[in-house]
Structure 1
Amino acid sequence: MKGDAVRENPTILRIRLGAELRELRDRLGLSLDAASKALTAGDHDISVSKLSRLENGKGAIRLHDIRCLLDLYKVGSDAQRDLLLRMAREAKAAAPAAWWTDYESVLPSGLSTYVGLEAGAGRLLTFTLTLIEGLLQTEDYARALIQAWLPTDPPETIERLVQLRMQRQNVLITDPKLELITVMDEAALRRPIGGGTTMRSQLHHVLDVCEKLPNVSVQVIPLSKGAYGPQHGMFTLIEPRDPADKSVAYVDSMGGNLYMQRPDQISRFRTMFGRLQAMALDPHESLNVIRTAAEETRP
């Protein structure tokens, strides 16, 4: 654990704090259930679900809870204890200052964590099947997509979510710049979301971004490849800007948003992404496929 871990990104702070708490629990050989029961026996009510959320960097942080956990885990070093409590205080203080908190009222469950991780990432490895990667979407394309996802939501909510998606794209041009490597199925280029005119503009936008920003790379898996894995879902591997932090794999599934951090899980997603890259066309060939798709898309 680094001794100078002072951050402005509350999501990164919470995840780092959670990882430290999980490591302390594991060292004592305690399960989540055993830790929760031990705390309850000591008149400190921290449920299994609450402890799980803390370890996964989610939920509100209460300093009293952190102190109780440190007592349970026998953290005797004043320096280690002070650092963990400082990390907790930093996370609480930084949360209101994070720009994406302005959108908390309209963010779907779990997405706030993703936006925070994205804001603190050094590299994103993304795989998409039928949609253009969110950081490469135009405003019209994003609006059509969000309207389809949330058909009963009021127009004000839709517009706020569109604004959020556009603001997220600043990570591609800020300093330090985020490196984005995305692999997409050719089906994403052929599905006319928002109609022909919107889709054609969207494809030209992807071409423009790839030509202007050296930190953005797109590879396309052609339809001619037939069946391949993983055609069951999209995922993102989020690699942190600070190497002291851990990578996170995000899967957007029908059962909810999943965040995975175990080394074996990260290794599996890296291997999977490498296979997808090897199957896809190289970036130059991929841009030619996107250019052709744009030409063939009728307004």
Structure 2
Amino acid sequence: MAGWELGLRLRERRELLDVTAVSAGRAIGTSQSYISGVENGKLKINARKLAELAAVLEFDEAETEELQALREEAGKRAWWSPYSAMFSAEVLRYFGFEAGAESIRAYSAGMITSLLQTEDYAMAIMNGGAPSIRLAEASRRVEVRMKRQQRLDGDDPVHLTTVITESGLRQMVGGRTVMAAQLRHLARKITEHPDTIDVRVVPFSADYHNAIGGSTFYLLGFASSRLPDLVWQETVSTTDLIDQPMRVREYSLAHSQALDFALDRAASLDLVEEIAKELG
């Protein structure tokens, strides 16, 4: 998060001054690719190079101190660091964005949203979706998913608004027992977090909307006005972090439309509890 904000501020100032990445890199003895990597939050920059770049981009002393503070924050060890060998750089970046998000709007196609899954449900997905994954690795991946869910609690919980299709409530992931426990867990989360967790179910009776047939996606919003919304999209074989404003807007509209076709909060909870009772 801090590295991303640092990069955004550097890029915004560079573009405002009409300085190319090539020129900025040459001025501090580095390359265009290095400047681009720092601006994209993918490469770290040391204090000396940052001070030199800040001078080139005409940041004043107070602004430079803010940039250095962001650099130091970005260098701290994150909770997901011990798991870094298991995930791509893009997924690790998403963990950072999710950890720093103020709000998450999710659309889950045919499954329960990952932030609301039980361990058994998540394990069933790991085992069924990727049979080549060893049990030890699957367990570690589930452990990561449970750690991600810590953002739902604590003193500064993320605000989660998730749209789930009725098919996601009825698909027997892991079998009847696992699914019944998952739905009871979901109902409990809805009840215990009325101010920060809003689960809406799109019933089978709903008409067509743009998210139907689409992939699972998450819209992340941030407290800082400097940070734009982001989209994280998951398909069967790929994941994608999207920051282009027009594409983010399309996902935002699709989520809003799905909400329009979903049951209200109370009716959604009723349906979750009803299906849970059917399963015993």
TM bracket (short chain): 0.7 to 0.9
Q: CA deviation at 1:186?
A: 1.4
3-state SS, counterpart of residue 238 of structure 1: strand
Letter in 1 for 2:182: Q
Q: What residue number does 1:16 align with? A: 5
Residue 199 in 1 paired to residue 179 in 2? yes
Residue 35 in 1 paired to residue 21 in 2? yes
Q: What residue number does 2:243 align with? A: 261
Q: CA deviation at 1:142?
A: 0.5
Residue 77 in 1 paired to residue 60 in 2? yes
Q: CA deviation at 1:278?
A: 0.8
Q: After the TM superposition, which of the residue ranges 188-197 and 221-230 deviates more from structure 2?
A: 221-230
Identity percentage of aligned residues:
28
Q: What residue number does 2:252 align with? A: 270
Residue 184 in 1 paired to residue 164 in 2? yes
Q: Is the 8 A contact 2:160 2:197 kept in 1?
A: yes
For residues 46-57 of structure 1, what are the structure 2 equivalents within 5 Å? Answer: 46-47=32-33, 50-57=34-41
Q: What residue number does 2:30 align with? A: 44
Q: CA deviation at 1:60?
A: 3.7
3-state SS, counterpart of residue 193 of structure 1: coil
- CA RMSD after TM alignment: 2.6
Q: CA deviation at 1:69?
A: 4.5
Q: Cα 1:148–1:69, aligned 2, differ >3 Å: closer, same or farther? A: farther
Q: CA deviation at 1:265?
A: 4.2
What's the CA shift string for 1:179-221, capped at 9, x where partnerless? 1110011121122111111111111111111111112111011
Q: Cα 1:77–1:128, aligned 2, differ >3 Å: closer, same or farther? A: same
Q: What residue number does 1:222 align with? A: 203
Q: Cα 1:23–1:254, aligned 2, differ >3 Å: closer, same or farther? A: farther
Q: CA deviation at 1:162?
A: 1.0
CA distance in 1, matches of 2:240, 2:37: 13
CA distance in 1, matches of 2:28, 2:99: 39
Q: CA deviation at 1:233?
A: 1.6
Q: Is the 8 A contact 1:184 1:221 kept in 2?
A: yes
Q: After the TM superposition, which of the residue ranges 258-267 and 205-214 deviates more from structure 2?
A: 258-267
Size of the aligned set, in residue pairs, is: 278
3-state SS, counterpart of residue 15 of structure 2: helix
CA distance in 1, matches of 2:193, 2:59: 49
3-state SS, counterpart of residue 15 of structure 1: helix
Q: Is the 8 A contact 1:39 1:68 kept in 2?
A: no
Q: CA deviation at 1:238?
A: 1.1
3-state SS, counterpart of residue 218 of structure 1: strand
Q: Is the 8 A contact 1:207 1:291 kept in 2?
A: yes
CA distance in 2, matches of 1:234, 1:155: 25
Match of 1:239 among 221, 224, 231: 221
Q: CA deviation at 1:175?
A: 0.6
Q: What residue number does 1:285 align with? A: 267
Q: Is the 8 A contact 1:140 1:198 kept in 2?
A: yes
Q: What residue number does 2:230 align with? A: 248
What's the CA shift string for 1:211-266, capped at 9, x where partnerless? 11112111011122253212322211111244554332222246743333354444
CA distance in 1, matches of 2:237, 2:92: 17
CA distance in 1, matches of 2:67, 2:197: 36
Letter in 2 for 1:258: D
Match of 1:89 among 72, 81, 85: 72
CA distance in 1, matches of 2:149, 2:36: 31
What's the CA shift string for 1:74-128, capped at 9, x where partnerless? 3253333343233223312x1x2x2221222223442222222222222111111
